[in-house]
Amino acid sequence: MKVNEIAKLANVSPDIVRFYNREGLLRPRKDPRNGYYVYSSEDLRRLRFVRMANKMGWNLSEVKVILSQGTEGGLASGDLEKLFTDGLCRLDQELKELERLRDDMKGTIQLWRQMPDGVPNGHSVQKLIEQWGYWQSCPLIA
């Protein structure tokens, strides 16, 4: 498969395929006639795995560890448990942040509905969003 073909099968852009290739996550061979990369069904499997692992919250360095261990005999159970525990902790933190943001947005909508002229203008909305960003980045508020 060429880059456009594997990208279409994996439902990603060709640039994503090229990026993962540069990162060493895929192992295509080069066609000696034209120098193009040729991807195998194993590359497609790896590409789909990387995308799913990324959705689960693992970063590329963690995915690289999983893939390299998978080809070298597997991860030790303690290492695998740590990956999942760390991933779960990150997801829990993201959920808390999303819930806090949802609550802030609901409260803001309620305030807007009480305003005499309805929804505020774009400038005040920008200030509000900047304020949320400030509180999200403040380490003492959690």
pLDDT (tens digit per residue) in 57-114: 888 988 888 887 755 555 666 777 888 888 889 889 989 989 988 888 888 777 777 7
26: domain CATH number? 1.10.1660.10
If one counts the domains in the chain, the total is: 2
Query: Do 14 and 66 belong to one domain?
Result: yes
Max CA distance (Å), the chain: 72
Residue 6, amino acid? I
Scanning 1-142, the segments in alpha helix (DSSP H) are: 3-10, 14-22, 41-55, 60-71, 77-114, 122-137
Provide the whole-model pTM: 0.64
Query: Do 81 and 67 belong to one domain?
Result: no
Query: Do 83 and 129 belong to one domain?
Result: yes
| pLDDT tens string 15-73 | 999 999 999 999 999 999 999 999 999 999 999 999 999 888 888 988 888 887 755 55
Structural domain boundaries, residue 64: 3-71
